[in-house]
Amino acid sequence: MHHKPILIVPGQIKSIFFEIFFKSFKNKNFLSPLILICSIKIFKENAKKFSFKGQFKLIDSKFSNLKLYKGFIYIIDVKLKKNKVKTKFENEYLSNCFNVAFSILKNKYTHKFLNGPINKENFLNKKYRGITEFISERFNKKNNGMLIYNKKLSVCPLTTHLPIKLVSEQISKKLIEDKLKLINNFYLKNFKFKPRIAVTGLNPHCESILSFNEDEKIVASAIKNSKKNKILVNGPFPADTIFLKQNREKYDVILGMYHDQVLTPLKTLFEYDAINITMGLPFLRVSPDHGPNEKMVGKNLSNPTSLTKALEFLDKN
C-alpha cells in the first residue's frame, strides 16, 4: 500500500517543535514519508542540538515525480531572510512555508498536513481568530470546525478564539446545526461511524435570569432540528456536569458554546493526549494541541505525545 506523504510546516522558529519532532521520529516507525517545509539551516541547527543522527534529503517543491520512501525525512528549503525587525521576517518566512504547503495540497499530491505551534498574536496580527480560520479562508471553506480529538472523547467549540462578551451574540441555530452536520460527516468519512454528540448550554445550569434564555430559544431548537436529520445528538446539558465520568462515557463528542468551556475539561482529562483537527477542509489538517511553549525551548523536557498522536493519525489516514 502506497502511503501519501505528510506535509509538515514546523512553525515558529523559537518553539519546542523540533525537540518533540525528533523524539516522535525516534519512538515511531511511520509508514508515510515526512516532508518538512522549513529552512534547512534551522533544521540542521536543531538536528545538531538534539543529537539527531538520522538521514534526511533536500528536495524541490515540485517533487511529484520523485519516489519517496516511507518514514524518511525530506526537506523543502524555505529561505529565512535576515531583517532588523524580527517578527516581520519571521512572519514572512512562516507565510512562505504555508504557501508552499498550500500549493502542494491544491495540486492534490497529498491530503495530509500538519503544522507546528504558531504564535497567533504575531503571525495572524488580529486578522484571523486562529490558524483554523486562516487556512479555511485560503481554501474558501466557510463551514469549518476545530475538533480536539481523543479516541475516548473529543470536543468542538462552537465559537473559537472569541472574547467571552462576544460569544452570546455569535450563537445561532444555523451555526449549531452546521457544526453538528460537520462533526457527523467528519466522523462518518474518517472513522466510519456516527458519533454520539452532546451539546452544552451557554448559561450556567442552562438557566438565565434574563427573559431571553439562549439555551431554550436557540440551542434546544437547533438540537431538535438536527435530530430530525438523523444526527445522534442530545442536550443542552449544563457544562459543569456533562464531563462527569458517567455522563461523558455516553458520548464521542461534546459540542460547547465557547473555547474554554470544552477545552479546559478535555485538557484536564487527557493533558497532551489530544490533537487539533480542522474539520471541513478538502484535506486533513492537524496540529499538536499546544503552543510554541517558549519557556521550555532548549530544555529537552517537553512531552512529544500530542505531536506523536497527530503524526500517527495522519499516517493511518
- Position 84 scores a pLDDT of 54
Residue 111: partners with Cβ closer than 8 Å, 6 or more residues away = 4, 105, 282, 283, 284
Pairing, β 275-279 against β 284-288? antiparallel
Strand pairing category for 253-256 and 154-157: parallel
The pLDDT score that the predictor gives to residue 89 is 87
State the Cα–Cα distance between residues 40 and 43, nearest whole angstrom: 5
From 16, 84, 87, 80, select the one nearest 46 (Cα to Cα).
Answer: 16
Average pLDDT, the chain: 92
User: How many residues comprise the chain?
Assistant: 317
Q: How many CA atoms lie within 13 A of 229 on its CB side?
A: 14
Find how far residue 158's CA is from the centre of its chain: 15
- What does the alpha-carbon distance between residue 159 and residue 145 come to, in Å, rounded to a whole number? 9
171: CB partners within 8 A, 6+ apart = 158, 159, 202, 214, 218, 219, 257
Which domains are assigned to the chain?
1-141+281-317 (3.40.718.10), 143-279 (3.40.718.10)
pLDDT digits 0-9 by tens, 99-129: 999 999 999 999 999 999 888 888 887 788 8
pLDDT of residue 85: 56
Q: Which residue ranges in the chain fall short of pLDDT 50?
A: none
Comparing CA positions, the residue from 284, 268, 20, 252 lying closest to residue 156 is 252
Which residue, 168, 179, 102, is CA-closest to 142? 179
Task: Single out the residue of 92, 89, 57 nearest to residue 76, CA to CA.
Answer: 57
Residue 290 has a pLDDT of: 67
pLDDT score at 277? 96
